[in-house]
Structure 1
Amino acid sequence: MLHSLASRIIFVGFIVSVNLICLSVLLLSASNSMISSFEWNAHRQKITEVVTETLSDLREAQAEERGYLLTTDPSFAKDFDDRVASALAKVNTLEQLVQDNPIQHERAQSLQVATNERLDTLIKQIALARQGRFDEARSRVIVGQGRVNMAIIAQKADEIRQTEQELLIAREATARAHATWNRNLVVGGCLIIVLLVNGLLYFVLNGMRRSVSQITRAMSDFGNGNRTVRVDARMGCTEFDILAHGYNTMAERLDAAMQAQEASDYKLLQANAELKRNNEAMELLGEMAHRLQAARTSSELSAIICAFVPRVLPGIPGALYTYNHTTNQLERIAHWGSHTPVGRDGLHPSSCWALRLGQSHSVNSPGGDVICQHVDSDICIYHCEPLFASGEVVGLLYLQSHVAEENRFRLVALVENIASALVNQNLQKDLLEQTIHDPLTGLYNRRYMEEALNAEIATASRNNTALSLIMADIDHFKRINDEFGHDAGDMVLRTFANEIQNSFRSNDIVCRFGGEEFLIITTYHPLNSLIQRVEELRLSLSRLELYYNGQALGKITMSFGVTTWDKSLPTETTAIIRKADAALYQAKKDGRDRIVVG
């Protein structure tokens, strides 16, 4: 009986061994398939990252080239060569990565050609700028071909990324199907082993029914999903003890394998969800970046920020501050995520630890870190992110919540885009100021005057309202330059410009017409009151006692020609300017230091 039992148990063991070997081979095959799937997914993710980084490097190179052309400051293009080299390297790497896919490989080669062409254009324009040929370089930019090329490049990159995303989704479905098949295979194999063992032991070991029943129940429970069930290793029979031990070992390994499989499936789902969220965030950031670069005013920038930031960082209220160099204050230009304004209207740089330290500053729990002075006393969780450009503060991003780790990359990209937009807007403001203001006196220049006068004449003609023009000229100004030097003359011009500016309303337009001549556009009414105001200005100017290097400049006077526009005059600016100039000429002819109405 013992021999028969042993032989049959050996037979059962043989059958079980064969099944276990088959299961092991299948599990090994499934494991290799999963590893291959992970490697394949990592490869596709690498392709997506390389495409994104190539676009980022290309845009950074273009931004630095535009900054250099706009400001003529070489520091704006200090990283240009590195960006170009990085973009070239990445687009070449992309071409190597997609060689396994003919369609993607063709797209990568097309993207490589477009990128090389765009970089070649940027390099040529930078080369012109470095030779001092800024006007020629800017004229190339104004043509607008760069925007078209960038749009083509972005389209090609999006096609590659979209295809990779579709491949990832298809591979994920295949991996999920394989996982289901492997799970069914393992359960089926276990059931076969149970049937074989039970069938043989039913005839051979009827006296050991209790042990067989115990093993059967354990295996049945395991097959039904209870992977924690184990068999008592002490069953009173050496053979069954060995069988129990083998079962327990097998159950533990299968349990471990299934846990690993479930963990892998979960990680794959998490990675895919995270990738999807990241792609959506990058698309939002890309849309926001395009709009930020096109914004011309603070209100437009504020509207863009309020529209996109809550979508990039959902559920996090916050505010954006921009640095004002004149007042040395940070002024709030946007807030979102709350029915009441978030953060204070303005704050001093020293009141924020992020600006003091030059890095992010977060308080994630009450008493977890020092609180910034600008934060309200009832706020105990917040995040401050300083915005820097070329080592200088351009703004502050204040978030009234904790920023989770998975949102860090969004925050970094958001900060870079907003900082770049603020720098771009500041450059535009500076360029506009330089375009419409006289650098010596700070008054509007002649170019702005002509545009403003056209608009004012159109308004007066349309609304039948009053419009007056005052032409003023400093008397004997050449004497000041000849006797005391041009620096003294510049000081007189600045002083008189300030007096004239302060004598008129904020909505009046005071311009430096040229040399020592000034022109004022005003809607002051009636004419008698305007003449009285000009007379007060003339008297106050004649009473000024001006000194330069300790020398008295003597009495300095100014002559004025006043005229008004009516519908009898043409709408061209030259007619009313000529009329005011004629009145000024008459005042000069009559002896200077007087007012003549023309």
Structure 2
Amino acid sequence: MTMVSYIVWLIAFVAGVGVSFFVPEATISLGGKFAFIGAWGAVLGFVLYTLCKRRVETAEAEFNENLESLKASQLDLVAGIQANKPAEPVEKPAVKAPEPPPVTAKNEIPLPKGAISAREALEKIAGAPLRANFPLDVWKRYAKSILKDRPFGEVLANLEKLLPAMFPKASGILYMYAGTQTDLRKLYSFGPSVISDASIRPGECASYNSGEIVVCDYSKHDLSGGCTHLHHRPQGISFCAPIEGLEEHFGIFSLQVDALPDNESLDDWHAKVSFVATTFGLYVSNQNLNVRYKEHSIRDNLTGLFNRRYMEESLAREIAAATRHKTPIGLIMLYPDSIAEIQKTKGRHAVEQLLWELGQRLPGYIRTEDIPCRYDGEMFCIILPGADLKITRQRAEKIRHEISQLQIAYGAGVLATPLSLGVAVMPAHAADGGSLLYMAEASLRHAMQAGGNRVTIADALINR
């Protein structure tokens, strides 16, 4: 079956389907149309089968005829050889078959104009150096430290070894945010030249707004990247790449070189800058997620203070250290006295606003090493490592005084509350963490029952 026959058959089938489609249903029902299409396809299929079968039979007949002809010619050849064969064969010494002549330029297939042979191509590849300078050993150490999520200092140390090897004769600088999103500070620089300031604003680098690698060839005005922070050495070629990950911006990597190496192109360096910026950005993003997850697991959602689980772990750790070094440890429990009144008059949202304000202010009234926590509901707890009874009591009085003066704007009114505080110290009032918590909480209850706005020491409970 030829291609023309198949096309004619296909057109006939499609025509039948089209005819059934355009016939109104009043003449032929939908089921009748499907029956017609099936019958039409069966008829055409039978025709196609008949044509193919006839074609195959013709091909088989031609093949058999050619095969018989070939057999007859072979028989004639054998008969002719036997007729010319001598009566008594004469033994002849074995003659070594001649070696095939070496392939020379005369019997080689001519190559197209400008082409070279495979042998010449292999010789050139074997003798040519690598096109791009890529320090594989240093890169492996850097990549391994990232994949194993090593500490930031270790990854940065491997990056400091990688950059000069990957970008020879170039100068570069790596910027990261320093606590705020308004300034970028130099984290690391390399190379023989200073290309930018130690601190820049994000808007000074075009890669910050574009989110892509910006290339500037100072010999061509059409490749001006717009990175104004590279004013120290505006010559040669510069690259600026954003350090990003998960739609967050962490820093900028800038690079400047007077001239690219002879065996490397602009695309080679663009790719290498992309390797560095992408891998480092993903690493920083992963580290950032780990920190956020850890903070979320140990922080109270409303106040931002440490949660009770972290408080219990910290107390056990500090108790063990205090026992080992024979040092005291103080504990303060506090409760806002006006919670019930604020809940009744202003609602739960006002209570949450007050608790949030307390969570923001408590860290400012204590030492850096102290641990403020939300203990239970509206009750707060502060662990004071190394603090004796005098220091712990003074700290509690300071907190009571500061919070009692606090006026928090809320709608048309203000939120204010005095505090009840309970103080206990180990080893003066307790011998372990559980006893210390119990004595501090019991002291707090005593202060609340006595009218509030006061500090109660666990001594009062022991003396009773």
Mapped partners of 2:345, 2:194: distance in 1: 59
Measured after TM superposition, the shift of residue 264 of structure 1 is 7.3
| Contact 1:293 1:424 (C-alpha < 8 Å) held by counterparts | no
Matched, 1:522 2:384: yes
Matched, 1:536 2:398: yes
Mapped partners of 1:267, 1:301: distance in 2: 36
Structure ranking higher in helix proportion = 1
| Contact 1:354 1:385 (C-alpha < 8 Å) held by counterparts | yes
Measured after TM superposition, the shift of residue 392 of structure 1 is 4.4
Q: Is the alpha carbon distance of 1:379 and 1:523 closer, same or farther for their aligned partners in structure 2, counting shifts above 3 Å?
A: farther
Q: Is the alpha carbon distance of 1:464 and 1:350 closer, same or farther for their aligned partners in structure 2, counting shifts above 3 Å?
A: same
2:106 to 5, 21, 24: 24
Q: For 1:258-291, what per-residue CA distance to the aligned partner results, in whole angstroms no more than 9, with x for missing partners?
A: xxx5x87445533x6348x66x63x654543332
2:130 to 273, 285, 288: 273
Q: Is the alpha carbon distance of 1:366 and 1:28 closer, same or farther for their aligned partners in structure 2, counting shifts above 3 Å?
A: closer
- Please state whether the residue corresponding to 1:442 is helix, strand or coil: coil
Give the partner amino acid of 1:354.
S
Q: Is the alpha carbon distance of 1:420 and 1:498 closer, same or farther for their aligned partners in structure 2, counting shifts above 3 Å?
A: closer
Mapped partners of 1:531, 1:447: distance in 2: 25
- 2:205 is aligned to 352
Measured after TM superposition, the shift of residue 496 of structure 1 is 1.8
- 2:34 is aligned to none
| Contact 2:327 2:386 (C-alpha < 8 Å) held by counterparts | no
Q: Is the alpha carbon distance of 1:397 and 1:349 closer, same or farther for their aligned partners in structure 2, counting shifts above 3 Å?
A: same
Measured after TM superposition, the shift of residue 543 of structure 1 is 2.4
| Contact 1:561 1:585 (C-alpha < 8 Å) held by counterparts | yes
TM-score (norm 1): 0.51
Matched, 1:306 2:306: no
- 2:254 is aligned to 398
1:453 to 307, 315, 326: 315
Q: Which has the larger radius of gyration?
A: 2
| Contact 1:285 1:414 (C-alpha < 8 Å) held by counterparts | no
Mapped partners of 1:574, 1:597: distance in 2: 17
- 1:322 is aligned to 176
Measured after TM superposition, the shift of residue 22 of structure 1 is 4.6
Mapped partners of 1:512, 1:520: distance in 2: 9
Unpaired stretches in structure 1, ≥5 consecutive residues: 1-18, 38-174, 176-260
- 1:483 is aligned to 345
Mapping for residues 286-305 of structure 1, pairs under 5 Å:
287-295=141-149, 297-305=151-159
Measured after TM superposition, the shift of residue 315 of structure 1 is 4.5
Matched, 1:563 2:424: yes
- 1:80 is aligned to none
- Please state whether the residue corresponding to 2:394 is helix, strand or coil: helix
Structure ranking higher in strand proportion = 2
Mapped partners of 2:161, 2:314: distance in 1: 34
Give the partner amino acid of 2:270.
R
1:578 to 415, 438, 455: 438
| Contact 1:443 1:512 (C-alpha < 8 Å) held by counterparts | yes
Mapped partners of 1:574, 1:311: distance in 2: 58
- Please state whether the residue corresponding to 2:302 is helix, strand or coil: coil
- 1:384 is aligned to 240
Mapped partners of 1:543, 1:316: distance in 2: 60
Q: For 1:318-347, what per-residue CA distance to the aligned partner results, in whole angstroms no more than 9, with x for missing partners?
A: 333334684333344344456x99854442
Mapped partners of 2:321, 2:408: distance in 1: 40
Mapped partners of 1:589, 1:438: distance in 2: 28
| Contact 1:558 1:592 (C-alpha < 8 Å) held by counterparts | yes
TM-score (norm 2): 0.64
Give the partner amino acid of 1:310.
P
Mapped partners of 1:293, 1:358: distance in 2: 24
| Contact 1:471 1:520 (C-alpha < 8 Å) held by counterparts | yes
Measured after TM superposition, the shift of residue 484 of structure 1 is 1.1
| Contact 1:285 1:413 (C-alpha < 8 Å) held by counterparts | no
Mapped partners of 1:341, 1:526: distance in 2: 53
Mapped partners of 2:360, 2:450: distance in 1: 27
Measured after TM superposition, the shift of residue 476 of structure 1 is 4.2
Mapping for residues 580-595 of structure 1, pairs under 5 Å:
580-595=440-455
Give the partner amino acid of 2:241.
E
Q: For 1:405-426, what per-residue CA distance to the aligned partner results, in whole angstroms no more than 9, with x for missing partners?
A: 2333332222221121122112
- 1:70 is aligned to none
Q: Is the alpha carbon distance of 1:378 and 1:313 closer, same or farther for their aligned partners in structure 2, counting shifts above 3 Å?
A: closer
Measured after TM superposition, the shift of residue 533 of structure 1 is 3.1
- Please state whether the residue corresponding to 1:384 is helix, strand or coil: strand
Mapped partners of 2:369, 2:194: distance in 1: 31
Mapped partners of 2:155, 2:296: distance in 1: 22
Give the partner amino acid of 1:318.
G
- 1:157 is aligned to none
- Please state whether the residue corresponding to 1:273 is helix, strand or coil: coil
Measured after TM superposition, the shift of residue 520 of structure 1 is 1.1
1:432 to 294, 297, 301: 294
| Contact 1:292 1:304 (C-alpha < 8 Å) held by counterparts | no
Give the partner amino acid of 2:203.
S
Q: For 1:218-264, what per-residue CA distance to the aligned partner results, in whole angstroms no more than 9, with x for missing partners?
A: xxxxxxxxxxxxxxxxxxxxxxxxxxxxxxxxxxxxxxxxxxx5x87
Give the partner amino acid of 1:591.
G
Measured after TM superposition, the shift of residue 595 of structure 1 is 0.7
- Please state whether the residue corresponding to 2:130 is helix, strand or coil: helix
Mapped partners of 2:355, 2:106: distance in 1: 95
Q: For 1:489-543, what per-residue CA distance to the aligned partner results, in whole angstroms no more than 9, with x for missing partners?
A: 1111112222322111222221111211111122465532442332122122122
Give the CA RMSD over aligned residues. Answer: 3.6
Unpaired stretches in structure 2, ≥5 consecutive residues: 1-100, 459-464
Matched, 1:374 2:229: yes
Mapped partners of 1:518, 1:341: distance in 2: 52
| Contact 2:355 2:378 (C-alpha < 8 Å) held by counterparts | yes
| Contact 1:320 1:333 (C-alpha < 8 Å) held by counterparts | yes
| Contact 1:561 1:596 (C-alpha < 8 Å) held by counterparts | yes
Mapped partners of 2:122, 2:406: distance in 1: 86
